[in-house]
């Protein structure tokens, strides 16, 4: 730590990281190849590849990889957008007006501690096993973080800015629109990222419990078929899609909040 670095740290870091990934991959090959880990428990790289190929070309559990992925992504985006469109205004209003907050609090505080996944059985009772139930659950999952972060963002606006605006004669509406909302955007985007993560988790869970299509359904069928390679493929796909959608969000944030570092 104190010594003057001879090799730039970033290069070191990359090498070590690659080395450990390589070690892990090697262990994967060896353990599954030698039979130390039975193929009923964990897929070998070859099996993984075969399963991936199967679902990509011929399809599995009712559709190709593209179809399943598209189905899931569509639901996530839909639920996410609805949640965000309802949650952010609510959160902002609650942060902005203590009166409004007092009014909404009882309902919100009752609903808030209930984990989104706990809504799945109720959603199924109300809406069946179709897409509507999934969207409802995703909405709940993404709604709460959006509200909370919008609320925190609005609540934590430095009163100095509000005072400066009012001193210049700004009406309440203008203060809300030009000070509170832009000022809350960083916190809102943090909430958006959490909401997106929650959306994906909830969707997978909801589809696992019961669905007609989707990556969660693939997971479910693969489990029943005792097909760990396919389970792995579905998991990896979910992870990749999650990362991709998060990246999209990050780019949007960069555009919307240019003043943040």
Partner 1 sequence: MAAVNRTARPGELLLLTALGAALFFGGWQALAASDLVSKQVLPSPLAVLEAGWTMTQKPFAGNLLQAHILASLQRFAMGFGLAALIGVPLGLVMGRYRVIDDAVSPIFEGLRFIAPLAWVPFAALWFGTGIGGPVMVIFAGAFPPCVINAYRGAQLVETRLVEAAQTLGARNVRIIAEVLLPGALPSIVAGLRVSAGLAWQSLIGAELIVVSAGIGYVMVQGQSNLSPAIVMAGMLAVGAVGLAIDVLLRLAERTVRKRWGHVA
Partner 2 sequence: MKNIAFEDVTKVFPRGGGTFTAIERITLDVAEKEFVAIVGPSGCGKTTLMRMAAGLEFPSSGSVSVGGRAVTAPGPDRAVVFQQFALFPWKTVRDNIAFGLKCKGASRAEQDDAVRKYLELMGMQGTEDSFPHQLSGGMQQRVAIARSYAIDPDVLLMDEPFGALDAQTRTVMQEELIRLSRFNPRTVLFITHSVDEAVYLADRVVVLARNPGRIREILDVAATRRAEEWDARAIEEVMDLPSFTGMRTHLWKLLREQIAGTE
Q: Could you list the residues that contact partner 1 (CB under 8 A)?
A: 1, 9, 12-13, 16-21, 24, 40-41, 95-99, 102-107, 110, 112-122, 124-126, 154-159, 162, 172, 180, 197, 200-201, 204-205, 208-209, 219-220, 222-223, 226, 228, 231, 234-236, 238-239, 242-243
Nearer of residues 31 and 258 to partner 1, judged by Cβ = 31
Q: Is 160 in the site for partner 2 (CB under 8 A)?
A: no
User: Is residue 254 classed exposed, middle or buried when 0-12, 13-18 and 19+ CB atoms within 10 A define those classes?
Assistant: exposed
Task: Please state, in angstroms and as integers, the Cα–Cα distance from residue 197 to each residue in 239, 241, 246, following that order.
Answer: 10, 11, 8
d(C-alpha 28, C-alpha 111), whole Å: 44
CB 31 within 8 A of CB 213: no
> Which residue from 5, 35, 159, 258 is in contact with partner 2, where contact means CB under 8 A?
5
Q: Which does 106 bind (CB under 5 to 8 A by kind): partner 2, partner 1, none?
A: partner 1
How far out from the chain centre does Cα 31 lie? 32
> Other CB atoms closer than 10 Å to residue 258's CB: what's the count?
8
Q: Is 4 in the site for partner 2 (CB under 8 A)?
A: yes
- DSSP lists the bridge partners of residue 63 as 60
Interactions with partner 2, residue window 195-234 (CB under 8 A)? none
CB 165 within 8 A of CB 178: yes
Q: Is 2 in the site for partner 2 (CB under 8 A)?
A: yes
Q: Which residues contact 48 (CB under 8 A, 6 or more apart)?
A: 229, 232, 233
CB of 3 to partner 2, least distance (A): 5
Q: Is 7 in the site for partner 2 (CB under 8 A)?
A: no
Count of residues of this chain found to bind partner 2 when the rule CB under 8 A is applied:
4
Q: Is 9 in the site for partner 2 (CB under 8 A)?
A: no
Q: Is 167 in the site for partner 2 (CB under 8 A)?
A: no
For 139-160, the DSSP string reads: HHHHHHHHHHHHHHHHHTS-HH
Q: Is 258 in the site for partner 2 (CB under 8 A)?
A: no
CB of 198 to partner 1, least distance (A): 9
* Binding window for partner 2 (CB under 8 A); candidates: 1-9, 112-120, 146-154, 192-200: 1-9
d(C-alpha 194, C-alpha 192), whole Å: 5
- Which residues bind to partner 2, rule: CB under 8 A? 2-5
């Amino acid at each position: 730590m104190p010594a003057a670095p001879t090799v730039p740290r970033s290069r070191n870091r990359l090498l070590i990281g690659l080395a450990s990934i390589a070690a892990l991959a090697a262990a994967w090959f060896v353990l599954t190849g030698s039979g130390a880990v039975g193929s009923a428990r964990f897929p070998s790289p070859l099996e993984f590849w075969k399963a991936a190929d199967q679902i990509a070309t011929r399809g599995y559990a009712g559709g190709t990889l593209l179809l399943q992925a598209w189905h899931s992504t569509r639901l996530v985006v839909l639920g996410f957008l609805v949640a965000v469109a309802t949650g952010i205004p609510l959160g902002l209003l609650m942060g902005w007006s203590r009166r409004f907050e007092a009014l909404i609090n009882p309902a919100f505080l009752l609903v808030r501690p209930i984990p989104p996944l706990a809504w799945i059985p109720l959603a199924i009772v109300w809406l069946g096993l179709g897409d509507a139930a999934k969207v409802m659950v995703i909405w709940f999952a993404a709604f709460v973080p959006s509200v909370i972060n919008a609320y925190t963002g609005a609540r934590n606006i430095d009163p100095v800015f509000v005072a400066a605006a009012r001193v210049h004669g700004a009406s309440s509406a203008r203060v809300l629109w030009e000070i509170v909302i832009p000022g809350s955007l960083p916190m809102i985007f943090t909430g958006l990222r959490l909401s997106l993560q929650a959306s994906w988790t909830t969707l997978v869970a909801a589809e696992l419990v019961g669905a007609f299509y989707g990556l969660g359904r693939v997971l479910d069928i693969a489990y029943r078929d005792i097909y760990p390679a396919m389970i792995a493929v579905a998991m990896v796909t979910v992870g990749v899609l999650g990362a991709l959608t998060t990246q999209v969000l990050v780019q949007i944030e960069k555009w919307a909040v240019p003043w943040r570092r």
